[in-house]
Structure 1
């Protein structure tokens, strides 16, 4: 049985989401390896919602279904070669927030260059109008 906790260091202070003593008390007798690695937040619901609004816009402009656009971009930008030399791709549900941001940036650039579609970000001037246009379609 493994134990997982989130460690946060802010302003030189460290906090744990669980007591270290409690986690150790839950382990069987034996030797263990303790590894600390940087935690990456999973993609956010806002990132996911934005992506699907963009795909709805692309669908309306090109006639290609949003799910087909999603699959196209996953294959184009999330493909890798596995240990057997086969090309496979993952989906956006496996991305953390940083990876999802990079994925969205690639989609935004590709839509602009390939289709002439400008996909807005929340900070953009006409973002709310974009949301109003595509959120209920």
Structure 2
């Protein structure tokens, strides 16, 4: 299979390989071309922020941060699968999320912590974020 990375920026599309070269690598036949948006796995900074939030929730509620992680995965990442003809519910993992899915997950955690627990979980752009890091980074 021939693959290339296309990038569109300021209305201009570029490829990391020439289209002619890609076609030259194909065997004779009929092909279908599809383009899908590339997604990146969750970032280390997203993961680090999530664990800071869970450390905060641990301190405020007394629930271990690993249990907080499992709770939110159960709450926001369940999915149904068919195994041997049986429909079962399984829980997804944050390590399998891409950057967009991780943002959605964290938005839900942040909203739930605020409404259900009364805990404000700040973002890096927030005014007191540095104070938050100093408070929970080494806990």
TM-score bin (small chain): 0.7 to 0.9
Q: CA deviation at 1:18?
A: 3.2
- Whole-Å separation in 1 of the counterparts to 2:122 and 2:92: 25
Aligned position for 1:136: 138
Give the number of aligned pairs: 136
Taking a change above 3 Å as real, the CA distance of residues 13 and 85 of structure 1, as seen in their structure-2 partners, is same
TM-score calculated relative to the size of structure 2: 0.84
Q: CA deviation at 1:69?
A: 1.0
Q: Do structure 1's residue 38 and structure 2's residue 54 form an aligned pair?
A: no
Aligned position for 2:49: 50
65-74 or 26-35, which deviates more: 26-35
Q: CA deviation at 1:76?
A: 0.6
Within-5 A mapping of 1:95-114: 95-114=97-116
Unaligned stretches of 5+ residues in structure 1:
none
- Whole-Å separation in 2 of the counterparts to 1:109 and 1:135: 21
1:37-70 deviations in whole A, cap 9, x for unaligned? 1222322221111001001111122222211111
Taking a change above 3 Å as real, the CA distance of residues 24 and 80 of structure 1, as seen in their structure-2 partners, is same
Aligned position for 1:91: 93
| SS of 1:85 mapped into structure 2 | strand
**Root-mean-square deviation (Å):** 1.9
Aligned position for 2:125: 123
- Whole-Å separation in 2 of the counterparts to 1:60 and 1:28: 61
- Whole-Å separation in 1 of the counterparts to 2:16 and 2:69: 36
TM-score calculated relative to the size of structure 1: 0.85
Q: CA deviation at 1:120?
A: 0.6
More strand by share: 2
